[in-house]
Amino acid sequence: MRRVLVTGVTGFAGSHLADYMLTRNDCEIFGIRRWRSRTENIEHFQDRIALLECDLRDATSTRDTLEKVRPDWIFHLAAQSFVPTSWIAPTESLTTNILGQLNLFEAVRHLGLKCRIQLACSSEEYGMVHADEVPIKETNPLRPLSPYAVSKVAQDMLGYQYWMSWKIDIVRTRGFNHEGPRRGPVFVASDFAKQIADIEKGRRPPVLSVGNLDARRDFTDVRDTVKGYWLALEKGEAGEVYNICSGRSWSIREVLDLLLGMTKVKIEVRQDPARLRPSDVMVLEGDYSKFAKVTGWKPVIPFEQTLRDMLEFWRSR
């Protein structure tokens, strides 16, 4: 049985990846968590995986953990993943994302582990995208617009460099926005869905707070995204980078309208200046043909279904 380590298993994508791997029944799953990580995303499978305490920001902790697990595959999903937090706490965001990954690579290198590593890089790296660059290919220039995006560029480039320098078997995926049940309540679709569910229950007045509705994002259901992550390690080429996305974009206004169309309650929409960013990425619409060619992957869950599932998730909470 293949030994698979997931960093960030207690998070949104990590828990969905574990769900997917558990249906496959062909690997032994190891996950790491920090001592105070929340566990509500993994409670339903906690007894079916091995959970180890590890802080990737601590080189000793990382090395000891990898020595114990000796994984064949690593999915590296752990990160500070919320863009606005990276302006409020840039040091924390850069440290967690860049040094956390560096510790992982150095542990693999010094222990001489022969493992494949998938890196969850991000479409945010493309940042300032010009109109004639859409749909975005992997060859597009990277023009990051937030400390978070810079941290992901660094992770991406370190992945390339460790492959070139040390032949560590790394596959980089640039995930575009992924949504679904368990999505953290700070991210846009989940935030709007949660506000609607709270309004329906009478927990807040019928006013929905929003930020920049003109931005466009390319959304994939997380359950499709994590299958992509799996295929990246099963079929992806070492040293390569692949977009994982749906190939179409929606404005945030359209996302809001779709969600508002799923409730019977009358809701007023109000822009909250605190939700606007110093520099927002205005359009992300990707081209996943490179990834599809190598792996056969394509997204199958329609975005409307994803949004409905997210709203139901918050309604049932």
Interacting residues toward ligand GDD by CB under 6 A:
81, 83, 122-124, 175-177, 186-188, 191, 210-213, 215, 217, 252, 275, 277, 280, 284
- When the beta carbons of 51 and 149 are compared against ligand GDD, the nearer one is 149
> Residue 237 CB, nearest distance to ligand GDD (Å)?
22
Q: How far is the CB of 234 from ligand GDD (least distance, A)?
A: 23
What is the distance between the alpha carbons of residues 2 and 97, in angstroms, rounded to a whole number?
A: 26
Q: What share of the chain is helix, strand, coil (3-state, %, to 5)?
A: 45, 20, 35
**Mind giving me the DSSP string for 133-157?**
GPSBPTTSPPB--SHHHHHHHHHHH
Smallest separation, CB 76 to ligand GDD (Å): 13
Nearest to residue 74, comparing CAs of 41, 43, 39, 109?
Answer: 109
CA–CA gap between residue 314 and residue 234 (Å, rounded): 34
d(CA 216, CA 236): 28
We find the least distance from the C-beta atom of residue 195 to ligand GDD, in angstroms, to be 9
| Cβ nearer to ligand GDD, comparing 61 with 123 | 123
Q: Which is nearer to ligand GDD, 124 or 240 (CB)?
A: 124
**Burial class, 20, CB count within 10 angstroms (exposed 0-12 / middle 13-18 / buried 19+):** middle
Return the structure tokens found at 214.
Answer: 């003109």
Between the alpha carbon of residue 20 and those of residues 15, 27, 90, 151, 231, the distances in Å are: 9, 11, 33, 28, 12
Q: How far is the CB of 112 from ligand GDD (least distance, A)?
A: 31
Compare residues 162 and 219 and give the one whose CB is closer to ligand GDD: 219
Q: Which is nearer to ligand GDD, 31 or 144 (CB)?
A: 144
Amino acid letter at 187? F
Cis peptide before 144 (omega within 30 of 0): no
The minimum distance between CB 289 and ligand GDD, in angstroms, equals 18
Q: Directed axis angle between helix 147-166 and helix 100-111, to 10°?
A: 10
* Min CB(24)–ligand GDD separation in Å: 25
Return the number of the residue (85 or 161) whose C-beta is nearest ligand GDD: 85
Query: How far lies 31's CA from each of 81, 99, 147, in Å?
Result: 18, 19, 27
Considering the complex, state which of residue 113 and residue 311 has its C-beta at the smaller distance from ligand GDD. 311
